Amino acid sequence: MLKKFLKNDRGLTLVELLAVIVILGIIAAIAVPSIGSIISKSKNDAKVAEAIQIINGARLANASDSTATTWTHTSLTDYISKVEDENLDYDVKLVDGEYYIKNHDASSVEGLTPDDDDDYLSEEQLTDASK
């Protein structure tokens, strides 16, 4: 009986091959949008993490010179590295012990809206978004 089974050299029929292709197509149709969503979320997470890094750089700059309460991207270059923000025109300010950032890519992340009329995002908003 085993010899008979091994001698059966039939390949896949066209119908079986088409069934496999249809199944793979369905799996791909489900997986591709999910992967796109994961990529988009990781880019947004990177923007938020970078904004937090910039605020931490401002915190270090404030520790070096406690009289300063505002910083631009050029004044923070000694405290941060590898910032990928497209426009490199961000500002950080310190108000009542709270740090705020303006003109950074993180402001384009869905769900983050500035606290005030000056379009500054608070450090608290950024840390909440990173959770």
Q: What is the mean pLDDT of residues 10-20?
A: 85
Burial of 7-25, coded b for 16+ CB within 10 Å and e otherwise, reads eeeeeeeeeeeeeeeeeee
Minimum mean pLDDT range among 21-25, 34-38, 53-57, 73-77: 73-77
* Interacting residues of 8 by C-beta distance below 8 A, sequence separation 6+: none
Instruction: Reply yes or no on whether the pLDDT at 5 is more than 70.
Output: no
| The pLDDT value given to residue 107 | 81
| The pLDDT value given to residue 27 | 93
Q: What is the mean pLDDT of residues 100-112?
A: 84
